[in-house]
A and B are shown apart, each in its own frame.
Chain A
Amino acid sequence: SQQGEEDPQALSIQEGENATMNCSYKTSINNLQWYRQNSGRGLVHLILIRSNEREKHSGRLRVTLDTSKKSSSLLITASRAADTASYFCATVSDYKLSFGAGTTVTVRA
């Protein structure tokens, strides 16, 4: 079942700009994960943030987590055309992933 909402549903930005997307979830978590999906293909794991962490960086990715608000954000800095994809947040319960609705990002050259 879907875990929660993501916003915006779609985002169009110019190459070099930053892209920010948000995710809300419903249950308590041990960690929250972000995945990327290119053109309806398989998902690729991007980054994981644990419930006791507030911010994490990986390359051009920055993720934040606010457990009091049950929300997370993913920031992609200095976007590239190759970042065009759908991005999903996901939480885990009983080893099963529950996904947010996803944000489709289009990076214009």
Chain B
Amino acid sequence: SAVISQKPSRDICQRGTSLTIQCQVDSQVTMMFWYRQQPGQSLTLIATANQGSEATYESGFVIDKFPISRPNLTFSTLTVSNMSPEDSSIYLCSVEGGESYTFGSGTRLTVV
């Protein structure tokens, strides 16, 4: 299965600023997925990123708040923009590998 390198692993940010999270995959993949996990909660899909096209966002998530780049088949970034304390969460990327999915190690974001 694929191996994903996700950075940063954690960050503490000031409200009103932006943070870009990167995921690098060791093989080419068609779709990459970005999830948010709020404290004590399950994972919620933010968007699906396909190379060469705009990301597809789930209900409740918008491109202005969570812009995503997918410049090639092994890399994607998620930006959390104009952050507020409510954005404090773990953010994870994921790729499909056969029938199961591989996840990055997560980015723990705290907004103060």
Contacts and interface: CB of A to CB of B under 8 A. Distances in A.
Interface of A: 1-2, 31, 33, 35, 40-45, 48, 88, 95-102
Contacts of B59: 1
A72 to B, nearest CB: 15
B91 to A, nearest CB: 11
Contact of A40 (B6, B96, B108): B108
Interface size class of B (residues with CB under 8 A): 20 to 34
Given A42-B105, A95-B31, A48 B99 contact: yes
Nearest to A96: B45
Nearest to B39: A40
Nearest to B93: A42
Contacts of A101: 41-42
A37 B87 CA distance: 20
B43 to A, nearest CB: 5
Contacts of A31: 99
A97 B106 contact: no
29 contacts: A1-B44, A1-B59, A33-B99, A33-B100, A35-B103, A40-B90, A40-B106, A42-B4, A42-B92, A42-B106, A43-B43, A43-B92, A43-B103, A44-B103, A45-B1, A45-B101, A45-B102, A48-B100, A95-B96, A96-B33, A96-B48, A97-B43, A97-B45, A97-B94, A97-B101, A99-B43, A99-B44, A101-B41, A102-B42
